[in-house]
């Protein structure tokens, strides 16, 4: 299967609630690589790469986690993987 990239902007009260840390912990249960970071406009940006089914499960696990209640909206896009990540990291 071809690897894909999932690029998501999370909108809501997603900063200051442990969102990035929780996302990194959740990522450990999946075969994904990527980054998560806060944006100056209050959103959180996540870029993850892996097989599409794994990415869909990862995204659902974030929604079902303790921080999922803070998500008001997700803006997601699918792209071809660039294979430029090692592991899953919080970017500051």
* CA pair distance 76, 92, nearest whole angstrom: 21
> Which one of the listed residues 20, 43, 59, 92 is annotated catalytic?
20
Please tell me the number of Cα atoms within 13 Å of 11 on its side-chain side: 6
Active site includes 83? no
* CA pair distance 2, 52, nearest whole angstrom: 8
> Which one of the listed residues 38, 72, 86, 92 is annotated catalytic?
38
User: Which active-site residues does the annotation give?
Assistant: 20, 38
């Amino acid at each position: 299967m071809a690897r894909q990239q999932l690029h998501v902007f999370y909108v809501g009260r997603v900063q200051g609630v442990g969102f990035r840390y929780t996302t990194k912990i959740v990522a450990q249960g999946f075969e994904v690589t990527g980054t998560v970071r806060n944006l100056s406009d209050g959103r959180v940006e996540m870029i993850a790469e892996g097989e599409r089914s794994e990415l869909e499960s990862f995204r659902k696990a974030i929604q079902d986690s303790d921080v999922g209640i803070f998500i008001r909206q997700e803006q997601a896009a699918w792209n071809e993987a660039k294979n430029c990540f090692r592991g899953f990291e919080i970017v500051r």
